[in-house]
Amino acid sequence: MTEAHQDAAPTPGTSALRADCGECFALCCVALPFTASADFAVDKPAGRPCGNLRDDFRCGIHTRLRDSGFPGCTVYDCFGAGQKVSQVTFEGRSWRSAPGSARQMFDVFPVMRQLHELLWYLTAALALPSARPVHPAAHALRAEIEAVTLRDAGELLGTDVAALRGRAGELLLRASALARAEAAPGRGKNRRGADLLGARLARADLHGADLRGACLIAADLGGADLRLTDLLGADLRDADLSGADLTGSIFLTQPQLQQARGDAATRLPSGLRRPTHWSA
């Protein structure tokens, strides 16, 4: 990626909002901390390279992360922030070749990650035909945020991400309500933020439901109808999605799928891929 700083904000394509590790200086493996737990085999402070990181910025155990005690790495997604910081903000200079910029690069990365996550959600809202009344405002905010991502490192660190997140959140709520109301009028249940830890929801009719921010850890959603369900921020760790229909589910991300369990019968929204650890 050789994109340079620009005054005009281009429209981000979905590919620009997916991690391209080959264009990144392994920022998630260095900038972020992790603690020894079920997700990570060892402790690592922020700013220190993971012991599995090779000199070419690739992971030495990438193909066996789960078996090596690092499942947390398999569910992380920077939404393309890594390559943006590496190739745009710092113009291809790595923290190894320019160690004096390392601290700033590591500080910018989580800011960029939040901005790219917002871009991903706004792009998803623009893909909802029923949310057309919200599209002009979503387009404008997406362009504004994209312009912010092209600022220099110092300006990025001064970004009021919380304010941008608040504005985006209002638009996403409206987009979700419009999409769910048209697809399943009068049917969508409001379970926003619900505690459904370990809930038995096998074959449940959740078509068009609002499960935004719900705790669904270890919930049994086998065979459930989750079509056009709003799953923004829902915690799907160890949730069973075997045979569930997630067609058209709203604001579902790849990291959420990576945290869950499923099988070959699980139906996914377009643009998301079946995790390799799911059963056949």
Q: What is the mean pLDDT of the chain?
A: 92
Q: Structure tokens of 237? A: 């760790």
Residue 141 has pLDDT above 60, yes or no: yes
Tell me what the mean pLDDT of segment 196-224 comes to: 96
Q: Among 90-99, 178-187, 195-204, which is the least confidently predicted range?
A: 178-187
Answer whether residue 180 shows pLDDT above 90.
yes
Q: Using the predicted structure, report yes or no on whether residue 5 has a pLDDT greater than 60.
A: no
Tokens standing for residue 3: 């994109």
- Rounded to 10 deg, the angle between the 161-183 and 102-126 helix axes is 20
pLDDT, average across residues 84-102:
96
pLDDT at residue 6, rounded to an integer: 33
Q: Residue 186 has what pLDDT?
A: 64
Q: What is the dihedral of CA 122, 126, 130, 135, to 10 degrees?
A: 90
Average pLDDT over residues 168-179: 96
Homologous superfamily of domain range 186-280:
E3 ubiquitin-protein ligase SopA (2.160.20.80)
* Structure-token match 């999605």, residue found: 241
For residue 73, the model assigns a pLDDT of: 93
- Residue ranges, comma separated, of all CATH 2.160.20.80 domains in the chain are 186-280
Range with lowest mean pLDDT among 63-72, 106-115, 117-126, 246-255: 63-72
248: left (phi over 0), alpha (psi -120 to 50) or beta: left
Average pLDDT value for residue range 44-50: 95
pLDDT tens digits, 232-243: 999 999 999 999
pLDDT of residue 12: 54
Q: Is 70 exceeded by the pLDDT of residue 187?
A: no
Per-residue pLDDT, 16? 86
Q: What is the pTM of this model?
A: 0.90
User: Is a pLDDT exceeding 50 seen at residue 20?
Assistant: yes
**Hey, is 61 helix, strand or coil?**
coil
Task: Name the band, by pLDDT with cuts 50, 70 and 90, for residue 9.
Answer: very low
Distance in angstroms (rounded) separating the CA atoms of residues 260 and 129:
28
